[in-house]
Amino acid sequence: MQVWKVGELAKQTGVTVRTLHHYDQIGLLAPSERSSTGYRLYTADDVIRLQQILSLRQIGFSLEETASCLGDPGFTPLRVVELHLSRLREQITTQQRLHARLEALAAHLRSTAAPSAEEFIQTMEMITMFEKYYTPEQLKELEERRNLVGEERIREVENEWPRLMAEVRAELDQGTDPADPRVQALADRWMALVQEFTGGNPGIADSLGRMYQKESTVAGVDTAPIRELGEYITRAMSAREQP
């Protein structure tokens, strides 16, 4: 049977001798064997218990909670490992979301010579808002599409939207019939820009629509006028479907 002295176990596991002594003193992990000369020796079962202790401690359990868990016969080594894996998956997801946030902020900074504090706020608002309406898979797809389209085209589209909305507003204020060829042409341009953003993914398009329907502002822009223009474009799209 393989056994380990405290120094040997500390060296191989990275746990300090002081910590192992402390665990022994509080009854959390006492070496199961002794050598003929009186040295305390850790067995394979002790090593398994140490792994459980380290996992539970890493995911936030106190020493008292750890002792309570290990005193429960139903709290098997497999259960501890699965619990640790579950917590790690949560942490990985959080880190991936943080990574996406920082990538988006970095992209914004690269495209802006001297961003103001307000621009930082608007950027963070957009990032957190996107997480509210888009699934992690959709956010990943949007990031991939952003890389595919490129920053230059993104800036072109950002400049195109205000011009297009001004033209749509002019027709709406004039009371132009949504079936009019001028409005139909504007509807085509509108839908082309939406298509370019969503990549033709109906789920992303639905998330985009819900965001503009439920939020009063997006990136500091009042959404009420945009919703009004969107409804006008929807009527234009419906008009072309009528016989």
pLDDT tens-digit map of 41-68: 999 999 999 999 998 988 888 899 899 9
In a domain, 84, yes or no: no
pLDDT tens-digit map of 104-156: 767 766 766 555 666 666 666 667 777 788 887 887 888 788 778 887 887 78
pLDDT tens-digit map of 220-233: 678 888 889 999 99
Model confidence at 242: pLDDT above 70: no
In a domain, 105, yes or no: no
> In total, how many domains does the chain have?
2
Q: What is residue 135's predicted lDDT score, i.e. its pLDDT?
A: 82
What's the mean pLDDT in 79-100? Answer: 78
Give every CB contact of residue 122 below 8 A, 6+ residues apart in sequence: 219, 220
Least confident of 40-49, 62-71, 74-83, 88-97: 88-97
Q: What is residue 177's predicted lDDT score, i.e. its pLDDT?
A: 94
Average pLDDT, the chain: 84
Range of the domain at 18: 6-75
For the range 234-238, what are the long-range contacts, defined as Cβ-Cβ under 8 Å and sequence gap of 24 or more? Answer: 235/178, 236/178, 236/179, 236/183, 236/184, 236/186, 236/187, 237/187, 237/191, 238/178
Does residue 166 share a domain with residue 53? no
Does residue 70 share a domain with residue 15? yes
Tokens of 41: 């020796």
pLDDT tens-digit map of 174-190: 999 999 999 999 999 99
Q: What is the DSSP string of 147-182?
A: HHH-HHHHHHHHHHHHHHHHHHHHHHHHT--TTSHH
Give every CB contact of residue 136 below 8 A, 6+ residues apart in sequence: 93, 96, 97
* Confidence at 198, pLDDT banded by 50, 70, 90: confident
Q: Which of 75, 108, 136 is the last residue of a domain?
A: 75
Does residue 213 share a domain with residue 162? yes
Percentage of the residues of the chain whose pLDDT score is greater than 70? 87
In a domain, 88, yes or no: no
In a domain, 110, yes or no: no
Q: What is residue 119's predicted lDDT score, i.e. its pLDDT?
A: 62
Q: What is residue 77's predicted lDDT score, i.e. its pLDDT?
A: 87
Q: What is residue 175's predicted lDDT score, i.e. its pLDDT?
A: 93
Percentage of the residues of the chain whose pLDDT score is greater than 90? 34
